[in-house]
Chains A and B, each alone.
Chain A
Amino acid sequence: DAGITQSPRHKVTETGTPVTLRCHQTENHRYMYWYRQDPGHGLRLIHYSYGVKDTDKGEVSDGYSVSRSKTEDFLLTLESATSSQTSVYFCAISDSSKSPLHFGNGTRLTVT
């Protein structure tokens, strides 16, 4: 398996609190992605990065921000968590935009 670690694996937080999810890779891949998975919606792209400090918005970026200060880490921050952000969050990596993605094991986030 590709070296991707997501932390935490599970988190419960209260509405209005900030939350940061971390994705760490050991593959030195250029591209990193954050998706959320919800029943009936499949995987939806939140943000992605195509290099250090190079990021772009995805389909559902409102309420989320990202940072990538070094190749191996891609952080996803929920600035003020809402119940609608309860979801499973997947990080993925690839070495180019057309390469297959390698996925992390996911983070299950519950916002109460």
Chain B
Amino acid sequence: AQSVTQPDIHITVSEGASLELRCNYSYGATPYLFWYVQSPGQGLQLLLKYFSGDTLVQGIKGFEAEFKRSQSSFNLRKPSVHWSDAAEYFCAVVRNQAGTALIFGKGTTLSVSS
């Protein structure tokens, strides 16, 4: 079965500093990969997705993620964090197969200090 691991439960970053959130997946073939963000009291918003091709994908709000097949990872990065980026971030994976569903990691909460 596919699974997603986000090793960091909570991360604190200073405003203006760079950010990297880790995500590892378990699946035999290359799955489809996603990052979502959830602000407090809100629903989930898609940041970016990877299906195939260029392993570095750009998303909204200045985020990017890099797919590394050898490490089964899909880490999310941002060069300079803003206070408004404080939220919970979820990595998700779905198999490259019709009739399957998205599985989420447990999430990483990002706090931004001034």
Interface residues of A (CB under 8 A from B): 31, 33, 35, 40-45, 48, 50, 54, 56, 58-59, 90, 92, 96-98, 100-101, 103-106
Contact = CB atoms under 8 A, between A and B. Distances in A.
A100 B34 contact: yes
Given A40-B106, A43-B90, A100 B101 contact: no
B94 A42 contact: no
Contact of A33 (B95, B102, B106): B102
B43 A42 contact: no
B63 interface: no
Contacts of B96: 98
Interface residues of B, number: 25
A78 to B, nearest CB: 20
B interface: dominant SS: loop
A103 to B, nearest CB: 4
B32 A98 contact: yes
A14 B106 CA distance: 28
A3 B93 CA distance: 24
Contacts of A92: 102
Contacts of A96: 98
B93 to A, nearest CB: 11
Given A58-B101, A103-B43, A105-B43, 7 more contacts: A33-B102, A35-B104, A42-B104, A45-B101, A50-B98, A97-B95, A103-B44
Interface in B49-92: 49, 51, 90
A50 B94 CA distance: 14
B97 interface: yes
Nearest to A59: B103
